[in-house]
Copies of this chain bind each other. A is one copy, B any other.
Amino acid sequence: MSDISEIRLARAYLLTVAEPPAPAVSALIAKCGPIDAAHRVRNGEVPDAVAKETAARSRREITEKDLAHAKEAGTRLIIPEDDEWPRWPLLSLRVADGRGVRGMTGPIALWGRGPARLDEILDRSVTVVGSRAATGYGEHIAAEWAYALARSGVTVLSGAAYGIDGAAHRGALAAGGPSAAVLGCGLGAGYPAGHHTLLRRIAESGVVLSEYPDTTPPARHRFLVRNRLLAALSAGSVVVEADLRSGARNTAGTAAALGKAVMAVPGPITSRTSSGCHEMLRSGTARLVTTADDVLEDVGRLGIDLAVPAAKPSRDTDRLSGDALRVYDALPPRAGRSVDWIAAEAGVPTTKARAVLCALELDGLSQRCDAGWRRGTGRGRRDTG
């Protein structure tokens, strides 16, 4: 058995016996390497903390044959020793862990299904998450933005749940882009049941990831643990819709703790599914985004993806200010008035008013008539040459 195969098997074993996150096991690996760590755990020659993390399952085993079977079924174990390991995004976890943020232990390895190389697919990626019980409004936004992000070459990462997650994956796939999913259960757990086809489609061009052995069932604590990966693996997280207790807020909070961009989409204040977004915006946890371009800007690197500021509709009179605006506003729409009357109405000296009226005339904003001056139509002589 080659070195890398032995390491992979050791990590597969450790992933099998320790429920993530397993800080003590990870520390043991860091100290004596995965092979030695696996050996010690098997023989019970470990510190109490490691024993606690592995006691319940240390008798479980995984063999070279299991890995080969998994590979035949399309599932590989991606380990930190692999070239494709997403070192750079996961560095944020290590930094947070080093700063003492709880639960930020990185994964021992990741089960993956799909053709995409992890480092490549995650290089430019955004996490899009939100409520399972989403509204049409939220699903529309998630799908549209995911489509636009995928078109811009950005990978949409999400949790494959019903509602916002599903809409985001679908939008990315509709744009022909790959998408990436991280699950809170094993890749073979068949969860959520209604997303069987969606998960298969994601795995055709992108990748579906999990820290959990194949048939591990979903559980609430696993979703919370999974959320740290959704937060860490991309450049930033967008919460499209979330009520006050949505797991998406947990992902966003983790992303913030990791120093990533955190964004939230506003909605009607009368909609419960936007209340979590509003709370994050009000508390300053998230930045408000109203377009996919806003998202690109917030996670954009080196200013390449700067959003164009929303254009104001323009009017002929937009350029006017001060005295010119006053005089223009004083102009009667139909029947003309004298320069003196207009000057008094506008509150500017008559000489000034006369000069302004002539200038406005060039832009068609004022018009001479028998009785003096009136408002013009806006089609200026400047336009017609």
Contacts and interface: CB of A to CB of B under 8 A. Distances in A.
A151 interface: no
Contacts of A329: 219-222
Interface string A227-250: 000000000000000001100000
Interface in A255-279: 265-270, 274-275, 278-279
A313 B268 contact: no
Contact of A266 (B278, B343, B345): B278
B57 A325 contact: no
Contact of A289 (B282, B288, B353): B282
Nearest to A217: B345
A279 B347 contact: no
B56 A349 contact: yes
Interface in A315-370: 325-326, 329-330, 343-350, 352-353
Interface residues of A, number: 55
Contacts of A353: 56
A282 B307 CA distance: 12
A62 interface: no
Q: What is the copy number of this chain in the assembly?
A: 2
A193 interface: no
B221 A56 contact: no
B350 A221 contact: no
A350 B219 contact: no
A268 B137 CA distance: 8
A56 B350 contact: yes
A310 B266 contact: no
A290 interface: yes
Contacts of A53: 347
Contacts of A291: 269
A166 to B, nearest CB: 20
B266 A281 contact: yes
A252 interface: no
Interface in A151-173: none
Given A281-B281, A326-B19, A269 B141 contact: yes
A247 to B, nearest CB: 13
A69 B269 CA distance: 48
A313 B244 CA distance: 8
A244 B348 contact: no
B19 A347 contact: yes
Nearest to A287: B282
A55 interface: yes
Contacts of A217: 345
A31 interface: no
Nearest to A137: B268
Given A219-B330, A268-B268, A281-B288, 13 more contacts: A19-B326, A56-B349, A60-B344, A137-B268, A222-B329, A244-B310, A244-B312, A266-B269, A266-B274, A278-B290, A281-B281, A282-B288, A282-B290
12 contacts: A52-B349, A52-B352, A53-B347, A56-B344, A60-B344, A221-B329, A244-B310, A245-B312, A266-B267, A275-B310, A278-B290, A282-B290
